[in-house]
Structure 1
Amino acid sequence: MTLTEASTGRPRAFSDVLATLCARKAEKLCLGEVVEAFGDRGFGPVMFFFALINLLPWPPGGTTLTGAPLLLLSMELALGRDRLWIPRWAERVSVNRQTFRSLTSRFNRPLRWTEAVSRPRLFFLTGGFGQGLIGLACLFLSAVLVLPISGGNLVPAIAIAFFAMGVMQRDGVAVLLGWLTTAAAAAILFLAWKLIVAGFEYGLEAVQRSI
């Protein structure tokens, strides 16, 4: 029996595996430990794990490190890989376990509720082609996370969490929510870019008028 199996041999709930990881005494929680804990359940749980990490209130630039592994995971998902692979150096990426305990306790109730209501449905959204599109969307969202944008981690991380839950549970409704949140993230990024360009143009005009 592994961390991903209950005494009956059935897969354990994602929230139960998180609880086991939180209960361990080591100060640091490494990515390699997370991958080992979820075994061959693949991309969904590990991507959901990193989505939770990126929901923390990081300072500008903080998500550059926490979002980088998601770039690799998203690329593998987009390429249609069956099994998760991470390089040796990435296995050593870690987070303080007490910080992770606090984050997990904050999301534990909605996570268990989501697990209770989600179920396999709308399979075309989570099949091979659907997962490829999810990988491309998560690649875009991960790239946004890596950018040093203050407060720019929230919406992309929520979108990735929806996609990851959809992949884990084969739940097309969760995937649809992921697509809607991705659209919101793209709209916010577009508006932010327009504001930056408008501010630059206004400043340039002001300089020209003063000459």
Structure 2
Amino acid sequence: MKENTDGDNVTLEDTLDSLNSRSFGPLLLVPAIMAVSPIGAIPGMSIVTGCVLMLIAIQMIFSSGRPWLPQRLLDFSFSRETLTKGIDKTLPWAKWLEGFTSRRLQTITHAPFHYVIATIVAFLALLFIPLAFLPFAVAIPGTAIALFALGITVRDGVLVILGFAVSCAAIGLAIYAWPF
């Protein structure tokens, strides 16, 4: 990690370093939530989010613990005050979510299961393409990916198991409603 000499700014690289191997979780969570939300109903958006999720999942399989991002993006900085305000705004939501999560079955949130999760996320991201032709069908694999992302982030294996269950539903939907 590069040492930040400016005490008033935080870089994206600093933020990812503080998350260690859990940094894949939030990176998966953002596009997964976009796919599940009404934003995912915008024509073409599900394919864009699916491609982003695919890239992140491939990095999970082949990287050495932290996602690769272009140096220009890693050097993006924002004020420590902005970070603090963002944390303060999301803290009530995080505390609410914490009531549903805990460090359960942590073993399945680490390697070698980490690679299994990444492979399933990549496959689910591929399902976004055919499911994009059905209204809101991407919400099911998007929900599975969001559960995986939360499970990785908070080290909750129960969320990962729920992600596996919802993945089965997404695969069933894709087989049942295959548009080709």
TM-score (norm 2): 0.70
Residue 155 (structure 1) aligned with residue 155 (structure 2):
no
Change in CA separation of 1:117 and 1:152 when aligned onto 2, cut-off 3 Å:
closer
Task: Find the partner of 2:59 among 72, 76, 81.
Answer: 76
Alpha-carbon deviations, 1:45-86, whole Å to 9, x = none?
A: 111111111122323422111221111111111235301113
Paired amino acid for 2:34: I
Report if the CA contact (8 A) 1:38-1:45 is conserved.
no
Distance of 2:158 and 2:110 partners within structure 1: 13
State the match for 1:66 in structure 2: 49
CA-atom RMSD in angstroms: 2.7
Paired amino acid for 1:126: T
Report if the CA contact (8 A) 1:77-1:135 is conserved.
yes
State the match for 1:177 in structure 2: 162
Structure 2: runs of 5+ lacking an equivalent: 1-10, 75-88
Distance of 2:15 and 2:166 partners within structure 1: 26
Q: Secondary structure at the match of 1:117?
A: coil
Change in CA separation of 1:153 and 1:83 when aligned onto 2, cut-off 3 Å:
same
State the match for 2:99 in structure 1: 116
Aligned length: 147
Report if the CA contact (8 A) 1:78-1:134 is conserved.
no
State the match for 1:50 in structure 2: 31
Structure 1: runs of 5+ lacking an equivalent: 1-32, 92-103, 198-211
Q: Secondary structure at the match of 1:66?
A: helix
Report if the CA contact (8 A) 1:80-1:131 is conserved.
no
1:1-211 matched pairs, under 5 angstroms: 38-40=15-17, 41=19, 42-57=23-38, 58-79=41-62, 81-87=64-70, 112-147=95-130, 148-150=132-134, 151-193=136-178, 196=179
Q: 1:145: Cα distance to partner?
A: 2.1
Distance of 1:89 and 1:143 partners within structure 2: 28
> Radius of gyration: which is bigger?
1
